[in-house]
Structure 1
Amino acid sequence: MGLTSRKLELLAAVLALAAVVATVWLWPRLAGRNWRALLGRSVVLLLGQALTLSAVALATNDWGGFYSSWGDLLGTDRGGIEFNAHASAHEPVRILGAKPVPLMLKNVPPGGSGGVVQQVTILGGRTGIVQSAYVYLPPQYFQPGYAHRTFPTVVVLTGYPGSPQNLISRMKVHTVAAQAIYRKQMQPAVLVLTRPSVALPRDTECQDVPGGPQARTFLAQDLRRAIAARYRVGTSARSWGVLGYSTGGYCALALAMRDAGAYTAAASLSGDYAVRTDATTGDLFHGDARLRRQADLLWRLRNLPMPPVSVLVASSHSGEADYRATRAFIAAARPPLNVASLFLPSGGHNFDTWSRELPTALVWTANQLRAGPR
């Protein structure tokens, strides 16, 4: 059974409950002072605690969407790998499957379509990284009236460790986009849903690690080229935006602010403004203080020319650790950097908060972009 399987969660809960019942029933029989009784009590207690912790851990993982599979948890399912012998530069995007997107709205006319979401693999021609993703295509993509037009593209990033599946099952990004397009709140756009981590279990924080994974190059160059080679999307920065939450929020801002010609708009939900160093990242800069400063977005605002891009930053007055840093970022920004902000009265660092912010942030990001003739 998969790590996120409902059957596994139910089995773990039943076993934990059974262990509690068994402990109550067996305890009088294990009341002696001999070594067998002591061993029996120890086994019963440890087994009960292990099963209870397992049930709680599985439920917590499902709620938070931290790991999507056993390989993801154990670090054997690596998000970015070297090309294998069958990878082809002529097939930068491999489509593994596709499903229609239901609008999930009342009073929708019969045949009303929300578009299509495809499960894909993206091959990085420059970095050699292979990344799983979903691509959302709006209904207009298949309509004759749009056959000779390109579409703007929004890249949507998870946090760390994250899984693209979270963007579908937890955030429902494709449905939020379909509804906004149907209501004419948002222009038709292609979405690429993926995670910023390209070398799991390591958290690369969207950096080009010296002698290591080139996450920034993959997201700023490889991904855009691969999608443009496969789909009818614009190729200039004015047609591309990026949105993310948590680590993905930092990555969104960093990609737009650091890589001229890559993204013209970015939205950060609960994102940091500098790279953290911990057990999951290791030393991403190999002791190079200059590289670390370059990755600090507040340092960039105070010491470098403002980038000509538009960004949206989101946080909460209560419950988010990045509130003060977000205010400092807004205060330090000057034209030609345009900053919009979104503040909730309260909200923690979780999917509930990001789901509340997503509709506004996604519409804002998409509407900063331009479509054009093919």
Structure 2
Amino acid sequence: MSLTGTPLLVGTLGAVFLTAVLVAMSWERGGRLRVLVRGVALLASLVSITAAALVQVNRMTEAFTLEAASQSTASASADPAPDAPGSATGSVIRKVTVPGKASKLNLTMFVYLPAAYRTGKQRFPVIQAQHGFSGNPRTWLTKLRVQSVLDTEIAAGRMAPTVVLFPFQSPRPATLDTECTNLVGAEQTETFLTVDVPAYVKAKFRVRNDRAGWGLIGYSAGAYCATSLALRHPTLYAAAASLSGLAGPGITVGDGLEATEHNVLWRLQHLPQPPLALWIGWAKDEKNIPRDSELIVRAARPPLSVTTAVLERGGHSHTVWRQMVGPAFDWLSARLARPLP
């Protein structure tokens, strides 16, 4: 049973109803054990209500899934055989496990392969998509419906056929927020994303090997990841798109550099700006994000360039990001190199 599925939610709601009936029926029964019976019934009711609430929250955030639960024990796997088409247009979503030779993290990753990947012999540009916290790559596939978006944009000619990566950013995505950094004495997520993932993808898939063919995108915490990783590794990526991202990591990395080298705004103000293209999107009614986004835009100087997209309302939500996903991918594709014969 899916951990975010409707059957599980229906089951927990049924348990709430049954325990409520139990409380009502047992309230005046039990004789000398009446207090104990009442206590057991109330405890069962409280547990069922809590379980139903947690299931609903998980349905909204997809913070915990079967894939997330298996991260800590996942082993490296070879690239699977070609998949059957996953949509009417012939694109597929392939699930792999990336061996972390440098980071020591072995994490699941979903890979979008456009229809052209199955029929041609080209090497394709790559966009690496980072998820938010608490969340995981499935949010891109379900809440943001990214496969359908990519199929539509490619079919319309607004986007070149592109391989899109959806990696995990933590072995415990529901409880451990890494912000795509190398945590001191703990998970080396930045190394996983910038060393292990590119090495695996370049070895296993027909993709471009050059910086001009690689970009980043992310929403929420993943938006910070996209801009931060692009600025920290400008020799690896040519462009990055941020959907509602803050300037700083919002966690303790452990190296004391959270407000400086890990902060996007600080880097723009104190370090040479690389020849990089950034797309910054936000909604005006989000908390803190409009302020950080506007500061980042004002701090940008050539050779770095910034494009902005601002929505009037919607808050920090999937509704806002669904409106941004298509334009952001189109913008990225226009700034990345085309498929290479």
How high is the TM-score relative to the length of structure 1? 0.83
Query: Given the superposition, is the C-alpha separation of residues 17 and 216 from structure 1 closer, same or farther in structure 2, using an over 3 Å criterion?
Result: same
Tell which deviates more after alignment, 325-334 or 201-210: 201-210
Q: Secondary structure at the match of 1:136?
A: strand
Within-5 A mapping of 1:173-252:
173-198=146-171, 201-252=175-226
5+ residue gaps, structure 2, are none
1:292-340 Cα shifts (integer Å, max 9, x gaps):
5110111111111112111111111113431111111111111111111
CA contact (8 A) 1:120 1:133 kept: yes
Q: Which of 101, 105, 115 pairs up with 1:139?
A: 115
Q: Which residue of 1 aligns with 2:54?
A: 57
Question: Offset at 1:35?
Answer: 5.3
Matched with 2:85 is 100
Provide the C-alpha distance between the structure 2 equivalents of 1:295 and 1:47, rounded to a whole number of angstroms.
46
CA RMSD across the alignment: 2.4
Aligned counterparts of 1:187 and 1:46: Cα–Cα separation in 2: 56
- Is residue 44 of structure 1 aligned with residue 35 of structure 2? no
Q: Taking structure 1 as reference, are residues 77 and 116 closer, same or farther at Cα in structure 2, changes over 3 Å only?
A: closer
- Mark the CA change 1:35 to 1:25 in structure 2 (over 3 Å): closer, same or farther: closer
Q: CA deviation at 1:153?
A: 0.6
Aligned runs of 1:309-324 on 2, under 5 Å? 309-324=276-291
1:9 CA displacement: 1.5
Q: Cα offset for 1:208?
A: 2.2
Match of 1:98, SS? coil
Aligned twin of 1:21: 21
Secondary structure of the equivalent of 2:27? helix
Contact 1:205 1:251 in 2 (8 A): yes
Q: Is the 8 A contact 1:153 1:241 kept in 2?
A: yes
- Tell me the distance in 2 between the aligned counterparts of 1:306 and 1:133: 31
Q: 1:96 to 1:205 in 2, by over 3 A?
A: farther
Alpha-carbon offset, residue 131 of structure 1:
1.6
Q: Secondary structure at the match of 1:95?
A: coil
Corresponding residue SS for 2:80: strand
The match for 1:110 is: none
Contact 1:79 1:132 in 2 (8 A): no
Q: How does 1:123-138 map to 2 (within 5 A)?
A: 123-138=99-114
Give the secondary structure class of the aligned counterpart of 1:331: helix
Code of the aligned partner of 2:117: Y
**Same amino acid, percent of matched pairs:** 28
The letter for the 1-side match of 2:6 is R
Match of 1:267 among 224, 236, 241: 241
Q: Determine the C-alpha separation between the residues in 2 that align with 1:97 and 1:18.
A: 47
Partner of 1:308: 275
Q: 1:120 aligns with which of 74, 96, 101?
A: 96
Contact 1:270 1:320 (8 Å CA) reproduced: no
Alpha-carbon contact 1:159-1:247 (below 8 Å) kept: yes
Residue 203 of structure 1 deviates from its aligned partner by: 2.0
SS in 1 for 2:83: strand
Q: Is the counterpart of residue 289 in structure 1 residue 274 in structure 2? A: no
| Cα distance change of structure 1 residues 14 and 347 upon mapping to structure 2, 3 Å threshold | same
| Cα-to-partner distance string for 1:264-319 (whole Å, 9 max, x where unaligned) | 11111122211212xxxxx422xx43465110111111111112111111111113
Whichever residue aligns with residue 4 of structure 1, its letter is: T
Deviates more, 1:49-58 or 1:195-204: 195-204
Tell me which amino acid in the other structure corresponds to 2:86. Answer: V
In structure 2, relative to structure 1, the CA distance for the partners of 1:298 and 1:125 (3 Å cut) is same
Count the aligned residue pairs.
340
Offset of residue 159 of structure 1: 1.0
Tell me how far 1:151 sits from its aligned partner.
0.9
**Once the two structures are superposed, what CA deviation does each residue of 1:192-223 show, in whole Å capped at 9, x if it has no partner?**
11232256543222112344332112211221
Q: Does the 8 A contact of 1:153 with 1:366 survive in 2? A: no
C-alpha displacement of 1:80: 8.8
Of the structure 1 ranges 336-345 and 197-206, higher mean CA displacement relative to structure 2 is found in 197-206
Q: CA deviation at 1:28?
A: 4.0
Q: For residues 18 and 257 of structure 2, what CA distance do their matches in structure 1 show?
A: 57
Match of 1:345 in 2: 312
Mark the runs of 5 or more structure 1 residues left unpaired by the alignment: 104-112, 278-282
1:108 equivalent in structure 2: none
1:371, distance to aligned residue in structure 2 (A): 2.2
Q: SS of the residue aligned with 2:322?
A: helix
| Mapped partners of 2:314, 2:287: distance in 1 | 7
What is the CA–CA distance in structure 2 between the aligned matches of 1:309 and 1:28, rounded to whole Å?
Answer: 71
**Corresponding residue of 1:3:** 3
**1:96·1:119 contact (CA, 8 Å) conserved in 2?**
no
TM norm structure 2: 0.91
Listed one character per residue, the Cα deviations across residues 139-179 of structure 1 (whole Å, up to 9, x for unaligned) are 11222xx42x3211111111124222222222221221011
After TM superposition, the structure 1 = structure 2 runs for residues 155-170 of structure 1, keeping only pairs within 5 Å, are 155-170=128-143
Q: Tell me the distance in 2 between the aligned counterparts of 1:99 and 1:67.
A: 27
Q: Which amino acid aligns with 1:356?
A: Q
